[in-house]
Structure 1
Amino acid sequence: MTNMFINEPMLEMYIFETTQQLEQLEQAVIASEKTAAYSEDAINEIFRYMHTIKGSSAMMLFNNIGTLAHSIEDIFYYLREKNPERMDYSTLSDLVLEGVDFIKQEISKIKNGESADGDAELIEEKLHRFLSLLEKDRPHEDVPEIKITQENQKYYVATDRKNDRRGKNKFKATILFQDDCEMENIRCYTIIHNLMDMVDEVYFLPEDIIENNETSVWIRENGFEIYLITVHDYDTIHQFFMQTIFLKSLELVQLENEDAFQQLYNAKNQALQSQNDNISTIEQSLQSKQNMKETAVTGQSVISVKVDKMDKLMDLVGELVISEAMVTQNPEINNILVENFHKSARQLHKITNEVQDMVMAIRMVPLSTTFIKTQRILRDMCKKLGKEVNLEIIGEETEVDKNIIENISDPLMHLIRNAIDHGIETSEERRRKGKDVVGRVILEAKNSGSDVLVIIKDDGKGLKKDKLIAKARKNGLLNKPESEMTDQEIYNLILIPGFSTKESVTEFSGRGVGMDVVAKNLGAIGGSVEVDSIEDQYTQITLRIPLTLAIIDGMNIKVGDSRYTIPIIAIKESFRPKVTDILTDPDGNEMIMVRGECYPILRLHKYFKVSARSNEFSDGILIMVEHGSNTLCLFADELIGQQQVVVKALPNYIKSKRKLNGLGGCTLLGDGSISLILDIGGLAFT
């Protein structure tokens, strides 16, 4: 294998697959650590992951990753073969996770176009020392040497076992990959590389999968055929092949007689060299001479797509929505009484909505991947802080837009760290309070309209209101008299930049930054943070995040000559107010009484400093909107109508001239004019 074979698609495949394997491996280690033992299944699973990472890294010439993976693989090979009675599971978990962290760092470098030049020598030394200690418990047994073979040959024969085929199993496997998975020849090479330790002999067709990239075409059309001799049984070989990524179908045949094995391989090889397309005829002529056990397994068809392609597709769908609005809302066309046109326009609108819904569904990914990462944080922090904490995950199957997940991952990790470091007490302190010595952190996700709520709740010490107020007073952060502050406003003090209740700095938190960054990151995607707590009982942080940032259902309104769009999901009702229902509080703020409840009024023309058609409530309309627990009424001149709108970033010229607090973006309307999208969360906190 040389550098000439490494190209961008291969690199992308390596990064994607290795990252997935590391995540699964990490979860296997953490799950095993909780039971204080590594089961046979866990040992085999971790061994396979490391074996695959070792092979693919060696193929890509990332030798430091491959060597480290090999060192971890050796330990689990020993565990699998020798099953030692005594072992320090905690130390083993630490070593494996340390190796996983190193590989993650190297993968991050590769992803950023940097060299994977990290030195894993120290970790490898620890692993070798650990394996040596394991072996000393069984000094009379030698660990068999793992053979290294030439990697680019067309067949593999373990020379010390070739002469004795008696009693061994012969198989023929035919593999088809999913459509458009690309680089079939490289994937086949990876399969052969990973198969080496399991077989005595293996032959494969086409043979020149590395030297000749055109073999991808053959494999795509006819499949990749592997002929092997092994001591392993049918189920073991079948399980190995079923782990192949992008597998479309597998046909595994056990050959009962050696002559049939050799004859079938020779016939196939001759047919391939002569470019004979009628290969099935040869198989049929041989089938009567042998007994076969056959099975065919078809996997679910899945393809991987680059995120930038999905973003481009989303942009095109957005343009389609805008173009459809321009046609259907064109006043010149609407005045034409042509029934066929309006029927076609309705059909166009229906299809556009379906295309949009489908693209949105493709972009949706479950929160489970992000949630699972928190288990590693919990494990490491509990170990270093000497705390006992259980993490309960609820609703991890909840889906959000992929771009949303990328924006909430870091804030979520910070909140979990805060819950363990700030919130959960030590076991001794919890015992004195009469609590369970094991703390509890709940991480929950659930849908709420067009938003997703992510809730982080701990049963720790809670927030002390007097301490929060004292800290805010000391730092000059209070903007209203303490007596007038609600509990919600007091708890929200922790979201102010530079505010921290931690009195000492640790490696996890307490630097006076973090919660404000969480609020800022959530605000950037149209989300919000809500804090609730009861002292010595719990602290709950609720992240309210939109399902998507791309297309929303909106209600267009008019304020003077300006147009604004309110997300439909935020609107409770709209009505023309009666002058007798308008109230004014002692500070001069306007309120309206609706069914016995008072709600604040926000005049949009005053807030955004634009001219209004009229200042009289009787000439306009009030739109009641809500965000979380906050409700207010927006005063506008008129409602224009409901429309699906494409959310765009605010242009620089708007940013420089408009008050941005309360604006979440802009959109292009059907008549070509720009409408500003209101951020109800920002307005609610005004």
Structure 2
Amino acid sequence: MDNGGNESILETYLYETNTLLEQLDSIVLAAEQADTFTENDVNEIFRIMHTIKGASAMMEYESLTTVAHRIEDMFFIVRERSMDVIPHAEHGLLFDMMFTAIDFFRGEVEKVQSGQPLSDDIGKLLEKINSLIAKIQGEAETAGAAGSAPSAQPAAAPVPGTEPGFPYGLRVFFDEGAGMENLRAFMLVTELRGICGEENFTFSPADVETDTSTTETIVTQGFVLFFRMAADRTGAIHVVSGSGSVRGYQTFDGPTAPAQEETKRTAPAAEAVRHAEQKSTVSAPKAAREEASPVKSAAAAPAPAQAGGAHPKESLISVNLSKLNQLMDVVGEIVITESMVTASPDLKGMKLDNFTKSARQLRKLTDELQDVSMSLRMVPVLGTFQKMQRIVRDMGKKLGKRARLTLVGEDTEVDKTIVDGIGDPLMHIVRNAMDHGIEETEEERIAAGKDPEGEIILSASHTGGEVIIQVKDDGRGVDYDRVLKKAVDAGLASPDAEYSSKEIINFLLMPGFSTNTEVTEFSGRGVGMDVVKKNVEEVGGAVVLTSEPGKGMTATLKIPLTMAILDGMEVSVGSSIFTIPINNIRQSFKMSGADIIHDAAHGEMVKVMNNFYSVIRVKDVYGLSTGCDEIEDGILMWVESGECTYCLFVDELMGEQQVVVKPLPNYINTFNIKQHGITGCTILGDGNISVILDVANLYSAIQ
């Protein structure tokens, strides 16, 4: 197989495994809170382990395969005997073991991604799993289970009879859009060889390992297996029903069974729906024990097929983010080109009714194209939020604190790039809330009139073009005196100056600041909240901290919905054109020189809504040679970003425009230009470049 094919297989493996591990983490977290696994949980965990085992075996990742196989063994027993085989006192050990296994899988997957060798030291983890399996088997035997506990895999097939041929058939259909169906079929074959013996079954298409052209046949007609003995087929059904990539299967008897095959070939989707419904209500072991008769299969197929989508299924595909980025680039170029055509100076003064009508339709279509391409990048914050559940759980156990994480608005959608960027900031904030916020003991909380169990609320909501993400705890809050003393000791604050509570709490966002005197695995190294501020600003957001002593602390992240396209106001300063994000603009107004107030440092201020705000002249900030100098000749724009509010002085407003954000070239970024209030640029309809201003950094640059 060529290198490109290998890379494609590896990408698919990593994506599917990471997705399965996230599902597994959520299942185990919910089960720990309920203190038991439901029947659906057990079936789902068995399926996940079975899929990871098979995929890892195909990739020859032995450590992953071994651990997944043993956990699959354990949950096979649980699935056969129910959770009653595990003593209630052992549930905690089971949950801890599953979390340890999840961490192991994630660590190994990260090694695969970074090209590092996989771990061979899996003895301790296997010892935990085997110990639990031994206890479960002992409990099952005590409960009266016949013989020894069942194995995770069926026994080898009996010696084939004297009947020639392979009269027992099994047709398998993979999930729609699963991809690489030939390799998925080969994975099934590899597993069946260890169960039935290679001489006891055959399959069609035959060359599924290396011939990618067999994929189309498998998609349209299914992957067909033929067995010498019925017991072999029963064992195969057990394997198939536990596979995560299989959406259904059919059985038939006879060497070729032409009548049954033809019926099933006309309605594979309908049969898959029937089996999907069966799998949701009947456990896989039962399906493995009871072979479906050809009469039942044939009769069940036509009805759903004629219903014409009575059971609609949403079709989903995974797309590499780089391709979405490329799509956004192309759409951006189309938008720019459309503006260049419609705003061409060659058309100035010409009366072109048909052209104007067509241009209006073109603008409508490009707007729709933009909206659709942007929506492809939007993903819910649920996945990132759920990862915080694990942090709260682990820290609670290690710190001896009881706390729960409440999620609000987890379906809120944000650009994929931004979702990836806020994972680390949220982790630091949640850790900070658990370590510093939630009180050390339940007695301390009870004495303060609080619930013995602490609560951290993680919420997300839309406000215009921004997403507001808040992490709020009901802990002890910020000790302002202690923070100020630490800031003075670190040289960040003057001992003689007076600071407001807002200024004091912002010291927490300073690099190297920590109130912990001891270094632990969670804090005390001076790394944390400053990373939050840096990472959030990198995605164009802002962080605001508020706290009420004794009541708790709230960290608010204001983050743009997307960084690819934004609504901006074009303004001119001399011959230069700048773009200011609409979300940062509160108001625009004209004023005379008499309205300007000069402070002691020769700075300019203006009174707006009974408050005084600094005036920043864009011409002076960037040293432009042309532009208005007199206040009455230009216009003031009242802008804000987070806690930063001031007035920008420009020549004139040129109008609102939806612009495509272009990143600055790398050689320009080496001059740290972002810290001077420039976040990117965009191409205007006439081909000129407009610099996009960062309102917060622009203000910081001149202070």
Structure 1, residues 36-59: CA drift from partner, whole Å, max 9, x if none? 222222222212211221122112
State the distance in 2 between where 1:448 and 1:161 align.
69
SS at match of 2:491: coil
Aligned residues of 1:370 and 1:409 also touching (Cα < 8 A) = yes
Give, in whole Å, the separation in 2 of the partners of 1:267 and 1:211: 31
Asked if 1:577 corresponds to 2:627, the answer is: no
Residues 188 and 240 in structure 2, CA contact (< 8 A), matched pair in contact too: no
Deviations 1:126-173 (A, max 9, x none): 211232233344556412334489xxxxxxx83379899xxxxx9965
> Following superposition of structure 1 onto structure 2, how do residues 324-403 of structure 1 map, counting pairs within 5 Å?
324-403=338-417
Give the stretch that moved more between structures: 345-354 or 536-545: 345-354
* Counterparts of 1:671 and 1:148, CA distance in 2: 71
Does 2:444 align with 1:444?
no
- Residue 439 of structure 2 is matched in structure 1 by 425
3-state SS of the aligned residue for 2:467? strand
Query: Which of 149, 160, 165 matches 1:143?
Result: 149
Distance 1:570 1:353 in 2: 22
Amino acid at match of 2:109: I
Taking the aligned partners of 1:29 and 1:369, their CA distance within structure 2 comes to 15
Deviation (angstroms), 1:211: 4.9
Secondary structure in structure 2 of the residue aligned to 1:478: coil
1:640 aligns with 2:654: yes
Structure-2 change in CA distance of 1:243 and 1:182 (3 Å): closer
Change in CA separation of 1:174 and 1:411 when aligned onto 2, cut-off 3 Å: same
- Structure 2 residue 534 is the aligned partner of structure 1 residue 537: no
Q: Distance in 2 between matches of 1:657 and 1:618?
A: 34
Change beyond 3 A, Cα 1:357–1:195 = farther
Structure 1 residue 68: deviation in Å? 0.6
Letter in 2 for 1:187: R
Deviations 1:390-447 (A, max 9, x none): 1000111111111111211111111111110111012232123222111010000111
Which sections of structure 2, spanning at least 5 residues, go unmatched?
268-292, 306-310
Distance 1:584 1:185, change over 3 A: same
1:629 deviates by 4.6
Amino acid at match of 1:184: E
Q: Is this contact kept in 1: 2:73–2:151, CA < 8 A?
A: no
**Distance across 1 between alignment mates of 2:492 and 2:518:** 20
- Give the 3-state SS of the residue equivalent to 2:209 in structure 1: coil
| TM-score normalized by the length of structure 1 | 0.86
Structure 1 residues 550 and 78: alpha-carbon distance in aligned structure 2, compared to 1, 3 A threshold? same
Instruction: Map residues 489-638 of structure 1 onto 2, 5 A cutoff.
Output: 489-638=503-652
Q: What does the per-residue CA deviation read over 1:211-245, in whole Å, with 9 as the maximum and x for residues that have no partner?
A: 53321121234344567968999xx9999489537
* 2:300 aligned with 1:293: yes
Match of 1:153 in 2: none
Q: Does 1:188 align with 2:185?
A: yes
Question: Could you say what secondary structure the match of 1:476 adopts?
Answer: coil
2:104 maps to a residue whose letter is F
> Which residue number corresponds to residue 152 of structure 1?
none
Contact 2:407 2:459 in 1 (8 A): yes
Distance 1:52 1:627 in 2: 47
Aligned length: 650
SS of match in other structure, 2:36: coil
Distance in 2 between residues matched to 1:54 and 1:238, nearest whole Å? 12
Distance in 2 separating the partners of 1:9 and 1:266 = 37
Q: 1:347 to 1:502 in 2, by over 3 A?
A: same
CA displacement, residues 255-276 of structure 1 (integer Å, 9 cap, x when unaligned):
7xxxx6226546789x9xxxxx
Alignment of 1:460 with 2:475, yes or no, is yes
**d(CA) in 1 for partners of 2:522, 2:692:** 38
1:288-327 aligned at under 5 Å gives the runs 292-294=299-301, 295=304, 299-327=313-341
After TM superposition, the score normalised by the length of structure 2 is: 0.84
**Alignment partner for residue 173 of structure 2, among 172, 175, 194?**
175
Tell me the equivalent position of 1:167.
none
1:370-396: CA deviations, max 9, x gaps?
111111111111011000001000111
Distance across 1 between alignment mates of 2:131 and 2:297: 51
Percent sequence identity over aligned pairs: 40
Secondary structure at 2:254 match in 1 = helix
How far apart are the structure 1 equivalents of 2:260 and 2:564?
Answer: 53
Distance 2:242 2:137 in 1: 32
Tell me, yes or no, if the aligned pair for 2:474 and 2:551 is still in contact at 8 Å. Answer: yes
Contact 1:191–1:244, Cα closer than 8 Å, also in 2: no
CA deviations 1:82-111 (Å, max 9, x no partner) are 432515111111112111111111111222
- Residues 656, 15 of structure 1: alpha-carbon distance in 2 compared, 3 angstrom cutoff: closer
RMSD over equivalenced CA pairs, Å? 3.6
Cα distance in structure 2, aligned partners of 1:289 and 1:464: 71
Q: 1:672 deviation in Å?
A: 2.5
Q: Which moved further from structure 2: 485-494 or 504-513?
A: 485-494
Read off the aligned partner of 1:429 and give its amino acid letter. Answer: E
Q: How has the CA–CA distance of structure 1 residues 510 and 348 changed in structure 2, closer, same or farther, with 3 Å as cutoff?
A: same
Q: CA deviation at 1:525?
A: 1.5
CA contact (8 A) 1:457 1:540 kept: yes
The answer on whether the counterparts of 1:202 and 1:226 sit within 8 Å (CA) in structure 2 is yes
Counterpart residue number, 1:120: 122
Which residue identity is paired with 1:182?
G
Query: Which amino acid in the other structure matches residue 113 of structure 1?
Result: G
- Checking the alignment, whether the CA contact within 8 Å between 2:50 and 2:242 is kept in structure 1 is no
- How far did 1:541 drift? 0.5
Matched residue type, 1:142: S
- 1:262 maps onto 2:254 in alignment: yes
- In the superposition, relative to structure 1, how do residues 338 and 133 fare at CA in structure 2: closer, same or farther (>3 Å)? same
Asked if 2 retains the 8 angstrom alpha-carbon contact of 1:318 and 1:646, the reply is: yes
Q: In structure 1, what is the Cα distance between the partners aligned to 2:460 and 2:690?
A: 32
In the alignment, residue 33 of structure 1 is paired with which amino acid?
Answer: E
Q: Which moved more, 1:198-207 or 1:52-61?
A: 198-207
Q: Which residue of 2 aligns with 1:416?
A: 430
Task: Output the amino acid matched with 1:111.
Answer: Q
Q: Is the 1:603–1:634 contact (alpha carbons within 8 Å) kept by the matching residues of 2? A: yes
Which protein is richer in helix relative to its size?
Answer: 2
